[in-house]
Amino acid sequence: QVQLVESGGGLVQAGGSLRLSCAASGRTFSRPAMGWFRQAPGKEREFVAAITWRASNTYYADSVKGRFSISRDNAKNTVYLQMNSLKPEDTAVYYCAARLGPIATMTGEYEYWGQGTQVTISS
């Protein structure tokens, strides 16, 4: 089975930066597209960013365009989310996810999920 483990979350003041990492393992993990999602208290899980296996295409939610950047290092089976100019509205648990197939933005389209890492942005 595929396992995804997020790291890099923490507490940052508004305007600061964080870089999240997601390490993948498992025999069934094969050239997946990767995505980042987040879920704030009382809200549904929402799409943040996604990237294809070859990083030929990326997609971002409007709320993070120009501030967040998704990247990957396939040799290390790791995907990253660089978050800059953070806002209190970015506070959430961030999850990485993997799927076989094209880039996608819906939670139901992803097969594998990490346990999440908390990101808290103070005013």
DSSP 76-107: GTEEEEEE-S--GGG-EEEEEEEESSS----G
Label the pairing between strands 58-60 and 68-73. unpaired
* Tokens 């390490």 found at: 23
What digits encode the pLDDT tens for the residues 5-57? 999 999 999 999 999 999 988 765 568 899 999 999 999 999 999 998 888 89
pLDDT score at 45:
97
pLDDT score at 27:
64
55: left (phi over 0), alpha (psi -120 to 50) or beta: left
Contact between 16 and 89 under an 8 Å Cβ cutoff? The reply is: no
User: What average pLDDT does range 56-65 have in this prediction?
Assistant: 95
Tell me the CA distances in angstroms from 37 to 13, 34, 75, 114, one per residue in order. Answer: 21, 10, 23, 10
* Tokens 């992803």 found at: 110
